[in-house]
Structure 1
Amino acid sequence: MIYTLTLNPAIDYFLTFQNFVEGNLNTPKETYKLPGGKGINVSKVLKNFNTNSVCLGFIGGFTGDFIESSLENDDLETQFFKIKEDTRINLKINNNGLETEVAGTSPAILKENIEELFVFLKNNLKSGDILALSGSVPSSISSSIYADIIEAIPKDVKVILDTRGDAFEVALKKGVFLIKPNKDEINEFFKSNFSKNEELIEAGKKLQTIGAENVLISLGAKGSILITKDEIFSCGVPKGELISSNGSGDSMIGGFIYGLNQNLPLTKCYEIGIASGSGTAFSKGLTTFETMKNLLKDIKINKL
């Protein structure tokens, strides 16, 4: 089974403006709301690919109810743990193509909420399962939570880790199957200013010595690099019109997990991940399976 954990979900409120002027009354030409959170996005992409997963996380209040009902209406399986405060709302502003995000304040998550999560994980995760640990850790939770989760579950659960900061560093040392840092996150981790692919590859290899079996480095419009145990690959992005980069990294992970769940070679998982991330970037919302398949034929990875 595939599980995705979103410690800090949100309602993502998208507003599109023709010409937003700071300090004035502005009326968007389009608005819509979606359940947000990196793990939730991974599960939604998997659902689009006809692959089941379980969304885990903490929700509260009317905003939490919206997230839960929206996902259930889309036939996603959820196991949310209820908190007292309202789930946050994030603003995603598109001002004539310029994207700006405003992150909402995280609600407090109590000790008993964390205990509920760990009871579920210990009772349900089994050998061979896949667990995606995605997104930021709220300030009310210890930054060691991802590391604590890795220690609490069976050793051969494939853990995909997509976070940053202290939570990333502590969890990485426990050993994970895959990490997906971007260039900025690598530079943040090593307190460096790497820009060349050769430098990023060396940094990726160092991350392997710390605890990552595989390292997928996202380079945005410049493509990506995959470092496995024995090989290194790179790939650009397919041609297409960028509509929104929101969720493209999560979609890349969703596509990669889809391949893993199909027992495909890592190179094929990588290709599907690239096509999935690009499919979301070229779409309004998350990629569909058809969009991913159409882009897949244009993906050509290179062995370095």
Structure 2
Amino acid sequence: MIYTVTFNPAIDYVVRMSDELLPGMTNRSDSEECYFGGKGINVSTILKNLGYENTALGFVAGFTGKAIAESVRQRGIHEKFIELPEGISRINVKIKGQAETEINAQGPAIPEDAQEKLFSQIKELKDGDVLILAGSIPNSLPSDVYEKIIALVADRKIEVVVDATKDLLKNVLKYHPFLIKPNNHELGEMFGTVLKTDDEIEEHARKLQELGARNVLISMAGDGAMLISEEGKKYRVGVPTGKVRNSVGAGDSMVAGFIAGYFKNKSYEEALKMGTAAGSATAFSDDLATGEAITKLYNGL
């Protein structure tokens, strides 16, 4: 089974305006939409759209948390969310007009007993399972929570995927995660530099391998993606042609597509193609991509 963890799920409330947003004034929208997610949930959704059963773990709270859990179940995803005793799961406001404005909420506090419940769930994972940890962590969680979770399964044959940034990512490399996915800017930030060429990106990706990562997947937006595999090979792919409509969830889609592509036939080249197709398909959609949209782009790569 594939498991994803979303520490701080959210409802994204998207408000579309043709007029300029005027602070301090009453503004009128043209339309509104709600999207239920969070990085791990996004990964779960794409995996399900590609035909892979998976279970979403994490924390939810209040009426918004119930709505998030229900939306996950409606997508056909298994969920074992832990309900928190206080607060509400986040509502993030995304205002899309002449410029884009975002207000991301804090989310509920996660008490220690709830954290222990998640750790107990993680301990139940079995050899052959996949564990995907994605995104930042709320202030109420310890900064080493990723390390604590991975340590719980370090003695088992469980493939761990980590999609995080900076120290949150660097500190788990000693556990030799199966896959990490920084983008080219995040990769440079980890080493205090700006990476401008493929050679520079490859060089620094291999440095992450020296620190313990097995496979390093680097997304580069319109420039495609690169994979440095645990076999020492470099794989490179461009992006399909299409109009970018949405950047939210594209990176999560790439992670999901990579995992789906890899476990289909254990080919890193095919995994990179499927990951790129999934990320691009979401970028070309208003919401997370359908399986059909991903397959169409994959066949064209």
TM-score of Structure 1 vs Structure 2, range by shorter chain: over 0.9
- Amino acid paired to 1:11: I
Given candidates 233, 236, 246, the residue that maps to 1:234 is: 236
- Cα distance in 1 for partners of 2:129, 2:262 equals 10
**Runs of 4+ deviating beyond 6 Å:** none
Contact 1:5-1:134 within 8 A present in 2 as well: yes
Question: By how many angstroms is 1:121 displaced?
Answer: 1.1
After superposition, the C-alpha distances for 1:225-271 in whole angstroms (9 at most, x for unaligned) are 11112210111110011111111110111111112332331110110
- 2:285 matched to 1:283? yes
Q: After the TM superposition, which residues 83-162 of structure 1 pair with which residues of structure 2 at under 5 Å, given as runs?
A: 83=84, 84-96=86-98, 98-123=99-124, 125-153=125-153, 154-162=155-163
Residue equivalent to 1:253:
255
Residue equivalent to 1:41:
42
Contact 1:252-1:274 within 8 A present in 2 as well: yes
- What residue ranges of structure 1 are gaps of 5+ in the alignment? 300-304
The size of the alignment, in residue pairs, is 297
- Cα distance in 1 for partners of 2:212, 2:22 equals 45
Residue equivalent to 1:269:
271
Residue equivalent to 2:196:
195
- Amino acid paired to 1:133: L
Contact 1:106-1:139 within 8 A present in 2 as well: no
- Cα distance in 2 for partners of 1:155, 1:204 equals 26
Residue equivalent to 1:171:
172
- Cα distance in 1 for partners of 2:19, 2:180 equals 38
- What residue ranges of structure 2 are gaps of 5+ in the alignment? none
TM superposition score normalised by structure 2: 0.95
Q: After the TM superposition, which residues 195-234 of structure 1 pair with which residues of structure 2 at under 5 Å, given as runs?
A: 195-229=196-230, 230-234=232-236
- 2:61 matched to 1:67? no
Question: By how many angstroms is 1:187 displaced?
Answer: 2.0
The Cα RMSD (Å) is 1.4
- Cα distance in 2 for partners of 1:100, 1:266 equals 38
Distance 1:100 1:222, change over 3 A: farther
Contact 2:21-2:97 within 8 A present in 1 as well: no
- Cα distance in 1 for partners of 2:238, 2:50 equals 23
- Amino acid paired to 1:218: S
Q: Could you say what secondary structure the match of 1:173 adopts?
A: helix
- Cα distance in 1 for partners of 2:179, 2:292 equals 26
Q: Could you say what secondary structure the match of 1:262 adopts?
A: helix
- Cα distance in 1 for partners of 2:42, 2:240 equals 21
- Cα distance in 2 for partners of 1:200, 1:155 equals 32
- Cα distance in 2 for partners of 1:233, 1:112 equals 43
Q: Could you say what secondary structure the match of 1:18 adopts?
A: coil
TM superposition score normalised by structure 1: 0.94
- Cα distance in 1 for partners of 2:279, 2:44 equals 14
- Cα distance in 1 for partners of 2:101, 2:215 equals 31
Contact 1:208-1:214 within 8 A present in 2 as well: yes
- Cα distance in 1 for partners of 2:22, 2:176 equals 46
Question: By how many angstroms is 1:99 displaced?
Answer: 3.8
Q: Could you say what secondary structure the match of 1:71 adopts?
A: helix
- Cα distance in 2 for partners of 1:246, 1:231 equals 30
Distance 1:99 1:274, change over 3 A: farther
Range moving further from structure 2, 77-86 or 25-34? 25-34
Identity rate of aligned residues, in percent? Answer: 40
- Cα distance in 1 for partners of 2:263, 2:238 equals 24
- Cα distance in 1 for partners of 2:295, 2:75 equals 21
Q: Could you say what secondary structure the match of 1:101 adopts?
A: strand
- Amino acid paired to 2:262: L
Contact 2:87-2:107 within 8 A present in 1 as well: no
Q: Could you say what secondary structure the match of 2:256 adopts?
A: helix
Range moving further from structure 2, 47-56 or 85-94? 85-94
Range moving further from structure 2, 48-57 or 163-172? 163-172
Question: By how many angstroms is 1:73 displaced?
Answer: 2.0
Residue equivalent to 2:8:
8
